[in-house]
C-alpha cells in the first residue's frame, strides 16, 4: 500500500495556476473510490469531476501532470495491482485511458518535467511488503505522445511505496518507502544521483509536492511504525534539507500532494489512525510555509489518494 503522490510543476518564477486535483483512494470501511476532486486556484473552491477515474482505485494510485495540457493518474489497487494510466485533458477535464500503461502492475508514485515527460516510480507488485514484491523501476511517458520507456537506472533501493516530487526543467526526486534515501534524476538525461542528505526519518506512506524553482517538500507519513506530521523541505538547487517548524495539522499517512508553484502547496486526505480516513486538506503558503487548513476539504474521507495540478496556461 502506498500513496503517492505528486505534482506537475511549472517553470521557476511562474505563478498563478488553474487548479489542483486529488483522485481516488480508500474510503471509510475499506472501499475504493473513483472520485476526482478539483480545487480551483487561488480560491480553493472545490468541485467534483463528473467523470472520475476509469476504475475505483486505492493504495498506490499516483498522479503527475503536463501543465496546461493534461494530468495523469496511474497504477494503484483495483482488487489487485493495476497498470492503468488515466489522462485528464486540461481545461475540459475529459478522461481517456492510455493504450500503453505502466510497464507492469504496481503501486507507484509520480513526478514530472512539464512539457517534456512524466514519470511513475516503483512500488509493490502485489500489495505485500515482502522484499520479493518490491521494485526499483521508473517508467517515463514522453509528452505529448505519451509513449512509454523504462529508465535504465531506476531507484537505488527496492521500494514498497515510493514518493515523488520535481523541480520542473531541472530534476525529479523519488524516495523509497521505509528509507531516508532520496534519489535525484537530472532532466533531461535522467541520470541518477543520491542526495548526501536524505529525509530526516525513514518515512513510508508519505507524499510529495514542490514549489518549482524554489523547494520540494516530503510529508514523511509513518516513521518507526508511528504516524507523524513531519514535512521535510529540500531547497533548490542546493538540495539542502530543513524540517518545517509547523508540519501537517495532524499526524497523517497515506495523503497526497499537489501545488500551485509560487503560491501554495497542498497535502490532502490520508489517515490519522489505522482506520480513520480524513478529508482534511492542509495548505502551505509559499515562500513562508505557513500552514492553514481549507474550510472545504475532500468531498469524502479518503486515504491513499493521488494528486496532480494544472499550474500554468
pLDDT, tens only, 180-229: 999 999 999 999 999 999 999 999 999 999 999 999 999 999 999 999 99
Residue spans per domain, the chain: 19-310
Phi then psi for 171, rounded to 5 degrees? -165, 155
Between the alpha carbon of residue 277 and those of residues 227, 255, 271, 280, 302, the distances in Å are 13, 10, 4, 9, 5
Q: Is the dihedral angle over the CA atoms 213, 305, 118, 133 positive or is it negative? A: positive
Place of cell 486526505: 269
Closest CA to 113 of 198, 203, 184: 184
Between the alpha carbon of residue 121 and those of residues 19, 31, 222, 237, the distances in Å are 24, 25, 19, 22
- Whether residue 231 has pLDDT greater than 80: yes
Residue 80 to residue 82: CA distance in whole angstroms:
6
pLDDT given at position 158: 87
Closest CA to 61 of 30, 83, 39: 83
pLDDT given at position 305: 95
Place of cell 496532480: 308
Report the CATH number of the 19-310 domain.
2.120.10.80
pLDDT given at position 15: 60
- Whether residue 1 has pLDDT greater than 90: no
Average pLDDT over residues 153-162: 90
pLDDT tens figures, 199-212: 999 999 999 999 99
pLDDT given at position 178: 83
Residue 259 to residue 236: CA distance in whole angstroms:
16
Average pLDDT over residues 83-97: 97
Amino acid at each position: 500500500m502506498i500513496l503517492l503522490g505528486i505534482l506537475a510543476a511549472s517553470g521557476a518564477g511562474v505563478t498563478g495556476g488553474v487548479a489542483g486535483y486529488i483522485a481516488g483512494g480508500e474510503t471509510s470501511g475499506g472501499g475504493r473510490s473513483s472520485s476526482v476532486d478539483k480545487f480551483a486556484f487561488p480560491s480553493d473552491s472545490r468541485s467534483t469531476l463528473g467523470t472520475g477515474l476509469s476504475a475505483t482505485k486505492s493504495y498506490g494510485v499516483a498522479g503527475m501532470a503536463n501543465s496546461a495540457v493534461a494530468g495523469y493518474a496511474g497504477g494503484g489497487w483495483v482488487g489487485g495491482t493495476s497498470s492503468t494510466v488515466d489522462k485528464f485533458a486540461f481545461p475540459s477535464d475529459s478522461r481517456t485511458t492510455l493504450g500503453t500503461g505502466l510497464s507492469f502492475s504496481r503501486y507507484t508514485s509520480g513526478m514530472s518535467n512539464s512539457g517534456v515527460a512524466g514519470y511513475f516510480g516503483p512500488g509493490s507488485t502485489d500489495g505485500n511488503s515482502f522484499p520479493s514484491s518490491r521494485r526499483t523501476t521508473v517508467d517515463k511517458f514522453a509528452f505529448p505522445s505519451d509513449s512509454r520507456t523504462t529508465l535504465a537506472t531506476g531507484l537505488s533501493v527496492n521500494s514498497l511505496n515510493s514518493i515523488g516530487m520535481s523541480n520542473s526543467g531541472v530534476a525529479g526526486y523519488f524516495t523509497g518507502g521505509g528509507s531516508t534515501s532520496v534519489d535525484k534524476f537530472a532532466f533531461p538525461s535522467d541520470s541518477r544521483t543520491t542526495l548526501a542528505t536524505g529525509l530526516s526519518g525513514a518515512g513510508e506512506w508519505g507524499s510529495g509536492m514542490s514549489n518549482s524553482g524554489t523547494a520540494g517538500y516530503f510529508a514523511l507519513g509513518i516513521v518507526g511504525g508511528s504516524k507523524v506530521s513531519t514535512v521535510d523541505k529540500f531547497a533548490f538547487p542546493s538540495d539542502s534539507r530543513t524540517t518545517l517548524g509547523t508540519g501537517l495539522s495532524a499526524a497523517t499517512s497515506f495523503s497526497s500532494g499537489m501545488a500551485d508553484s509560487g503560491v501554495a502547496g497542498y497535502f490532502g486526505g490520508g489517515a490519522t489512525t489505522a482506520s480513520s480516513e480524513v478529508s482534511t486538506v492542509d495548505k502551505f503558503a509559499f515562500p513562508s510555509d505557513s500552514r492553514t487548513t481549507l474550510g472545504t476539504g475532500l468531498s469524502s474521507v479518503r486515504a491513499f489518494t493521488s494528486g496532480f495540478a494544472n499550474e500554468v496556461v
